[in-house]
């Protein structure tokens, strides 16, 4: 059988799943490209910035991972600067690579809305590991200073604002509030000295999500002492002050920005129909319209259910779309007929600080508290365990210096 070349651009949740499934087709030669040498588990970043998880809990090494997948897979760390679907070329900073099939899986980035002046300059984002790391460092430094100054009786108030009360903002606010509660007895003179604000222009937290989940989340956040400021559109973010649309102000020490996402930069350069999140609107087989061998998955694409309703950009949907494309490429290789994507969300779990979560499964089962936390943990554990098996195998190969065959 001819060896077709598949290039996967982006080693996030979608890219890794596609690589793993396609690696089983040993006649395929697979090149996985990412600008970073690691896979960043964004879904766990709330625990990392609050100091509960370590770096090793949220990253995996891509070189070891790909080696662990098999000899038909190779990893290349570089930034992809363009894709030419007509010529079937992936352009990197230094070279171009020809493909039979490409899977664009570059995810999304933080979208600093142009109507919020100063957002980019004065906030910490979390879509990028380096930004999350910088925040954690700055925060830990501040806590340390506070501890020192407390001895000198001049510790001031500490105000943390989370701009954006979607899934990521809620998880971060809850986990930080939980961690700070544990530190309170050591750091504060009174309860009011460390405050976390969760801000959104929408009327509720988790805008657009299931009303039960919204209510459960709201109650838990209140229990943790998070100050919820919904219906509060932000106009400007300055050095230490947020100005709202009604000109009221809020002083802060740190702002974490989780208010919006937009498809990755590379997507802007690809000539294809896009939605308001700059995601590509693919054909029903997740291909660039008019191009049969270039697929797009995960947060870079607008993925819809069978009624045509857009599904939320989540790791779950990124993985499902990857599995679908891997199957489609296998069918195309075997000359078998292909069918359009037919998928839906299986549910959603929200981590709400400590060993507490809330979630909805298959649109029917609602669960909260420790049980929900256990279920969420189990999902993460299964995902991580699968990756670790590959990483360990690949790491052992690297130590034996087995060369890659492609
Ligand atoms: C705080 C937070 C909590 C979340 N919680 C959940 C949750 O509980 N459940 C859930 O399902 N989802 C959750 N999500 C959403 C989830 O993380 C994303 O939907 C998911 O990461 C999308 O996967 P992806 O493969 O499309 O892209 P990503 O995982 O973002 O991966 C994209 C990859 O492409 C690479 N890349 C980008 N541009 C280039 C380029 N030009 N060249 C080379 N490489 C490039 C990046 O380095 C990255 O590795 C959360 C997100 C955040 C931020």
Could you tell me the pTM of the whole model? 0.93
Beta bridge partners of 163: 199, 257
What distance in Å separates the CA atoms of residue 65 and residue 42, rounded to the nearest whole number? 18
Strands laid side by side in the 254-257 sheet: 227-229, 194-199, 158-163, 254-257
pLDDT over 80 at 185, yes or no: no
Position 244 confidence tier, pLDDT thresholds 50, 70, 90: very high
Q: For residue 329, give the nearest of 62, 23, 106, 83 by alpha carbon.
A: 23
Common-topology check for domains 5-35+78-111+262-344 and 119-259: yes
Q: Is 406 helix (H, G, I), strand (E, B) or coil?
A: coil
- 314-359 tens-digit pLDDT: 999 999 999 999 999 999 999 999 999 999 999 999 999 999 999 9
pLDDT over 90 percentage in the chain: 79
What distance in Å separates the CA atoms of residue 290 and residue 86, rounded to the nearest whole number? 10
List residues near ligand 1 (CB under 6 A).
9-15, 33-36, 40, 42-43, 45-46, 79-80, 105-107, 126-127, 167-168, 171, 264, 266, 298-300, 313-316, 318
What distance in Å separates the CA atoms of residue 56 and residue 54, rounded to the nearest whole number? 5
Choose which residue among 46, 314, 353, 357 to substitute to test ligand 1 binding: the one with the highest number of ligand atoms within 8 A of its C-beta: 314
How do strand 29-34 and strand 73-77 relate by DSSP bridges? parallel
Q: What is the CATH number of domain 5-35+78-111+262-344?
A: 3.50.50.60
**Quick one: which atom of ligand 1 is closest to the CA of 14?**
25
CATH code matching the domain that covers 119-259, chosen among 3.50.50.60, 3.40.50.11030, 3.40.50.620, 3.40.50.1860: 3.50.50.60
pLDDT over 70 at 188, yes or no: no
pLDDT over 70 at 290, yes or no: yes
pLDDT over 70 percentage in the chain: 95
What distance in Å separates the CA atoms of residue 231 and residue 180, rounded to the nearest whole number? 26
Measured in angstroms, how far is the CA atom of residue 218 from the centroid of ligand 1? 26
Measured in angstroms, how far is the CA atom of residue 187 from the centroid of ligand 1? 35
**DSSP secondary structure, 65-119, as one string:** HHHHH-TTEEEEE--EEEEETTTTEEEESS-EEE-SEEEE---EEE---TTSBTH
* Sequence ranges of the domains in the chain: 5-35+78-111+262-344, 119-259
Measured in angstroms, how far is the CA atom of residue 15 from the centroid of ligand 1? 10
**Quick one: which atom of ligand 1 is closest to the CA of 107?**
27
pLDDT over 80 at 251, yes or no: yes
Position 404 confidence tier, pLDDT thresholds 50, 70, 90: low
Q: Which residues are CB-neighbours of 108 under 8 A, at least 6 positions away?
A: 127, 261, 262, 263, 264, 277, 279, 299, 300, 313
User: What pLDDT does residue 364 have?
Assistant: 86
């Amino acid at each position: 059988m001819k060896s077709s070349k598949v290039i996967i651009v982006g080693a996030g949740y979608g890219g890794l799943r596609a690589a793993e499934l396609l690696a089983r087709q040993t006649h395929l030669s697979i090149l996985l490209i990412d600008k970073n040498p690691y896979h960043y588990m964004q879904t766990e970043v709330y625990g990392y910035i609050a100091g509960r998880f370590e770096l090793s809990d949220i990253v995996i090494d891509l070189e070891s991972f790909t080696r662990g997948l098999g000899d038909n897979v190779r990893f290349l760390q570089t930034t992809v600067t363009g894709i030419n679907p007509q010529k079937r070329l992936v352009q990197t900073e230094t070279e171009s690579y020809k493909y039979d099939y490409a899977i664009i899986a570059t995810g999304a980035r933080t979208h600093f809305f142009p109507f919020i002046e100063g957002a980019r300059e004065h906030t910490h984002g979390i879509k990028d590991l380096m930004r999350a790391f910088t925040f954690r460092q700055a925060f830990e430094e501040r806590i340390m200073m506070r501890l020192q100054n407390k001895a000198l009786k001049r510790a001031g108030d500490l105000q943390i604002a989370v701009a954006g009360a979607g899934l990521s903002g809620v998880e971060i606010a809850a986990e930080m509030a939980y961690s700070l509660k544990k530190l309170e007895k050591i750091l504060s003179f009174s309860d009011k000295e460390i405050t976390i604000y969760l801000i959104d222009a929408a009327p509720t937290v988790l805008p657009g999500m299931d009303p039960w989940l919204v209510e459960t989340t709201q109650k838990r956040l209140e229990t943790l002492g998070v100050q919820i400021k919904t219906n509060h559109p932000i106009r400007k973010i300055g050095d230490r002050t947020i100005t709202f649309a009604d000109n009221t102000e809020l002083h802060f020490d740190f702002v974490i920005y989780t208010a919006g996402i937009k498809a990755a930069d590379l997507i802007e350069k690809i000539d294809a129909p896009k939605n308001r999140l700059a995601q590509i609107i693919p054909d029903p087989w997740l291909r660039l319209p008019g191009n049969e061998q270039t697929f797009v998955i995960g947060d870079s694409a607008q993925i819809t259910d069978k009624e045509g309703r857009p599904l939320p950009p989540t790791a779950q949907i990124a993985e499902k779309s990857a599995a679908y494309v891997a199957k489609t490429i296998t069918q195309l290789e075997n000359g078998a007929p292909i069918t359009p994507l037919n998928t839906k969300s299986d549910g959603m779990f929200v981590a709400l600080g400590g060993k507490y979560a809330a979630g909805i499964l298959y649109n029917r089962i609602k669960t909260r508290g420790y049980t929900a936390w256990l279920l969420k943990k189990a999902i993460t554990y299964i995902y991580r365990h699968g990756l670790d098996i590959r990483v360990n195998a690949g790491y052992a190969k690297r130590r034996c210096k087995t060369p890659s065959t492609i």
